[in-house]
Amino acid sequence: MGRKILFVTTDQQRYDTLGCNGGSVARTPVADSLAEAGIRYERAVPQSVVCMPSRSTILTGQHPTTHGVWMNGVPLPVDAPSVAALLHRHGYRTGLVGKAHFEPYLDPFGRFTENTLARSGAETVQDLWADGSTGPHRGFEHLEFATHGTAAPLHYILWLWQNHPEAIGMYYPVLDPSFNVNGAGGGVTGAPQVHDNPIQKDWYHTDWVADRTISWLNSLAADDDWFCWMSFPDPHHPWDPPKSELSRVDWREVPLPAGYPASQAEREAILDAKPRHWRMWYDGTLVSNFEAPRSWVPATLTADQVREVNARNAVEVELIDEAVGRVLRAIESRGWTDDVDVIFTSDHGELQGDFGLLFKGPYHVDALMRLPLIWRPAPSAGIGPAVVSRPVGLVDLAPTFSAIAGLRAPGWMQGRPLPVSDADAAARGFDRVLTEWDSDLFGIGVHLRTITRDGWVCTAYRPGHVHDGTEGELYDLADDPLQRFNRWHDPACAALRCDLLADLRDSSPPARAEVLELQAPV
Amino acid sequence: MAVIRHELRIARPPDEVWPAIGDPAALPRWFPGIIDAQVDGRARIITASSGLSLPEEIVTNDPVRRIFQYRMTAPLVSDHLGTIEVADTGDGCSLVSYETRCEPDPLALVIGGACGNALRELRRQLEGQATPAKHEEA
């Protein structure tokens, strides 16, 4: 019997939303205690700041350039390499409960397994694997899906239809009638994607994900080794947690985040020093990516709206924390705790008032790129608590799962097992991490390549709709933790910039031979 | 109105490619995600594997110019025109294009993505390539 793995992901959760990372709005005692007993990473960086590419990196252990999911709406091929398949092949029981999003949701033809599995009633399907053999879909023998809202025909939505049909219409409609991301506002302040959801807490998808995870774990034998990916759809917008829970955080008492420049002139001056698509989005003259509501103009965002969004986000973070606690207690009741590794992270972050913006897009700054990452190794492994400040990536998760299972990371994985201390990170050369963005939405192309190294973040822009390929961003994370001062054109940084760009070029992963086609906007 | 266009070469002459496209009832045989097509004159109702039924109007079915056009008339879309053309490349092959014009724009990506996939499936079938592994329920 080996170590078991509980892998917890949230969607679009920022580093600073956890108490252990300095967050003060949400109470997160469960995550905080995991961090205290385990390893807390202070510079965990995603390889993409949107869901599908980032989640594909987690599963494959590859950068987006290599696995090929270059933007949301590009499905990960069913025969892509998968760490779950690797673990399953070596005897692990494998399950994924909650948000997968390796395939598009907007799928009226029902072409993708994630949208058809629930109706089929099957626990998984047999598919081609990367090595030419067949096995359960992406390596998971048990799949139960959920996402934000109730539009896609996933397990959670069918469960709601069957058990609480009156709740179907309680959620915020994620898309508007024209199938664009909804910009309609609600709550007290009229902030976009804020909505009063009268649903009962125990019907909400956060509790459902925890309930179904516990149910699957309880179906396993005591001596099974298992890999369970518990994937919460929150705190991704819409911000529509159960209304009964809103009193946890009074939005009027929520401080404005440090990243929100309160003065309009200051906001706009900061944006003007960045590549032009920042200001164009703020002004509503360019929406380069589907994830941002087309009908909403960030320049209209008010300070109170920022407070209300952050309050509701904090409520969702608290509900997740409590749900994780419930699952950990279920694990304890099975007598497994000593042999269970718990890893907690998110696929990417979010702009929550930073620079006067919300949501996400081609913006490689801490709001989107600095993630919560906690690894509480199985107590039986004897790995002591630590804080790691050197950069690590989500690309390192698959090799970490492999190492926990006692397996050597296969050659197709591009990361390395996470370091257990800064000394370990230094010894093994955890110096840099890469992030990329590609999008092409109706001819509006944006392409970024970023390296995080030596306390700097350097982003090079490739030619696109509003960029000629000479633009860039360079931030000193120590002196400018809010990334307000773009040093790209600073002569004093010229040598550093050249060095980082050379490193970025030399470290770039190999590209997938065939470019995968966009199949949907999301 | 967004336009998504896919084009690919099929190593079969137009006379072998056109029959699948010109037969409006044959769609489920080469369009992944469509499981049924009922044709009544110029009206066609397709059923997707999601269970969704989508009424369509056949606009053009011209075997001489080898052009097939249809409109989705379901309320899902406010405007739509699908156009499939088969061109003779003169070397025993065909150039097949599949264009989707659609409003609202996001659905053009969805429908256009499915059409591109269908073209690849048509090529696979006509060129006699191995059938990809179909998944089975566990």
Would you state the pLDDT for residue A101?
A: 98
Chain B touched by A468 (CB under 8 Å): no
In what helix (H) or strand (E) does residue A251 lie, and over which residues does it extend? none
Strand A392-393, strand A39-45: pairing: parallel
Give the mutation candidate from A94, A103, A111, A114 for the B interface (greatest B CB count, under 10 A): A111
DSSP code of residue A404: H
More confident residue, B74 or B132: B74
Q: Please give the Cα distance from A217 to A268 (Å, whole number).
A: 51
Nearest by Cα to A54 from A42, A41, A67, A43: A67
Domain residue ranges in chain B: 2-24+55-126
In a domain, A363, yes or no: yes
Interface of B with A (CB under 8 A): 2, 32-34, 48-52, 54, 76, 104-107, 109-110, 113-114, 116-117, 132-133, 135-138
pLDDT, mean over chain A: 97
Q: Please give the Cα distance from B13 to B29 (Å, whole number).
A: 19
**DSSP-assigned states of every residue in A354-367:** GGG-EE-SS--SHH
pLDDT at B135 over 70: no
The CATH number of residue A58's host domain is 3.40.720.10
pLDDT at A452 over 60: yes
pLDDT at B132 over 80: no
DSSP code of residue A463: S
pLDDT in tens, A237-277: 999 999 999 999 999 999 999 999 989 999 999 999 999 99
Token pair in block for residue B30 = 């080469």
Fold of B2-24+55-126: Alpha-D-Glucose-1,6-Bisphosphate; Chain A, domain 4 (3.30.530)
Q: Please give the Cα distance from A48 to B130 (Å, whole number).
A: 35
Cis peptide before B14 (omega within 30 of 0): no
Chain B touched by A178 (CB under 8 Å): yes
Q: Please give the Cα distance from A102 to A90 (Å, whole number).
A: 23
> What is the pTM (predicted TM-score) of this model?
0.96
Coil/strand/helix, residue A498: helix
pLDDT at B136 over 70: no
Minimal CA separation from B138 to chain A, in Å:
5
In a domain, A212, yes or no: yes
Q: Which residues in chain B have Cβ-Cβ distances shorter than 8 Å to A517?
A: 113, 116-117
Token pair in block for residue B55 = 């009424």
SS (H, E, C) A321-332: HHHHHHHHHHHH
Is residue A309 within 8 A of residue A316, CB to CB? The reply is: no
pLDDT at B138 over 60: no
Q: Which residues contact A357 (CB under 8 A, 6 or more apart)?
A: A281, A282, A298, A301, A351, A363
> Taking residues A344-357, what's their average pLDDT?
98
Chain B touched by A179 (CB under 8 Å): yes
In a domain, A301, yes or no: yes
> Taking residues A34-60, what's their average pLDDT?
98
What proportion of chain A, given as a percentage, has pLDDT over 90? Answer: 98
In a domain, A497, yes or no: no
pLDDT in tens, A56-80: 999 999 999 999 999 999 999 999 9
Would you state the pLDDT for residue A262?
A: 87
Would you state the pLDDT for residue A149?
A: 85
Q: What are phi and psi of A132, to 5 degrees?
A: 90, -10
Q: What is the CB-side half-sphere exposure of residue A440 using CA atoms within 13 A?
A: 13
pLDDT at A20 over 60: yes
In a domain, A461, yes or no: no
Question: Residue B66: which region, alpha, beta or left (left: phi > 0; alpha: psi -120 to 50)?
Answer: left
Q: Which residues in chain B have Cβ-Cβ distances shorter than 8 Å to A141?
A: 138
Q: What is the CB-side half-sphere exposure of residue A386 using CA atoms within 13 A?
A: 17
Coil/strand/helix, residue A448: strand
pLDDT in tens, A137-187: 999 999 999 999 888 899 999 999 999 999 999 999 999 999 999 999 999
Would you state the pLDDT for residue B134?
A: 47
SS (H, E, C) chain B: CEEEEEEEEECCCHHHHHHHHHCHHHHHHHCCCEEEEEEECCEEEEEECCCCEEEEEEEEEECCCCEEEEEECCCCCCEEEEEEEEEECCCCCEEEEEEEEEECHHHHHHHHHHHHHHHHHHHHHHCCCCCCCCCEEC
Q: Which residues contact A478 (CB under 8 A, 6 or more apart)?
A: A455
In a domain, A510, yes or no: no
Give the mutation candidate from A52, A103, A109 for the B interface (greatest B CB count, under 10 A): A109
Query: What is the domain extent for residue A232?
Result: 4-431
Would you state the pLDDT for residue A151?
A: 81
How far does CA A393 lie from the centroid of its chain? 12
**DSSP-assigned states of every residue in A116-178:** HHHHHT-S-EEEE-TTS-EEEGGG-SEEEE--SSS-S--HHHHHHHHH-GGGGGGS--SB-TT
In what helix (H) or strand (E) does residue A371 lie, and over which residues does it extend? strand A371-376
Q: Given an 8 Å threshold on Cβ–Cβ distance, is A128 in contact with B132?
A: yes
In a domain, A464, yes or no: no
Number of domains present in the structure of chain A: 1
> Taking residues A356-378, what's their average pLDDT?
98
- Cβ atoms < 10 Å from Cβ of A183: 14
Q: Number of CB pairs < 8 Å for A and B?
A: 96
pLDDT in tens, A93-132: 999 999 999 999 999 999 999 999 999 999 999 999 999 9
- Torsion, Cα A280 A286 A289 A292, to 10 degrees, reads 80
